[in-house]
Amino acid sequence: MIDCRAMSTIALFDLDHTLIAEDSDALWGRFLVEQGVLDSEDYEREKQRFLSEYRQGRLDIEEFIRFALAPYAAHDYALLLQWRERFVEEKMRPLISDAARALLDRHRDAGHVLLIVTATNEFLTRPIAELLEVEHFLATPMERINGNYTGRTAGPPCFREGKLFYLERWLEANEHDLEGSWFYSDSHNDLPLLERVSNPVAVNPDETLRRIAGERDWPVVSLHDTDPV
């Protein structure tokens, strides 16, 4: 059990495979396959390629963003909202574990400011953050023109050093700093931010992050099975 009562200010959380046990963007893609919007074989082939590159730390984030955002540009915003509402209820709500909620509550009870920092786009992230009752979130911004998405980002992807880029702007705008801060993540791709906070925590970590956490004596916890947090 991690005691966060004595710590202060900011508690940061990755989303996919950290607060939730799955990749929300991948689930969204499969949801669109179920709606007949995407071809199952093509989607799964490309998704598995990107996933392999991500795990190896060599993901071309710009190429992945073009792939992930293409369906948004192909459909009206109002229709996307209808799909998203069903998606959150059917696919996301069942993924919120008691352990994840308990962790968030411990930081709330300690008076910390909770902030989700994710590479997933803002369209998907917003309702998931609301489901988790986390007011603040940073995600990859999406460009909209005349009310509809273009399939392009509205700024750098919120990925690796991009998380620091958006976080530093948010800290300045909200008059916070990283003194006593926490960050929970599953991925070695989040090392740039894990190395900046006072209290890095590996959550169900990938093999590389588990090794690094062991070398640096970082806590390793689970939110997705019966292991204690």
Contact 122, 109 (CB under 8 A): no
Between strands 182-185 and 199-203, the pairing is parallel
Q: Which of 3, 16, 42, 105 is catalytic?
A: 16
Q: Which of 14, 186, 190, 206 is catalytic?
A: 14
16 labelled catalytic: yes
- Residues labelled catalytic: 14, 16
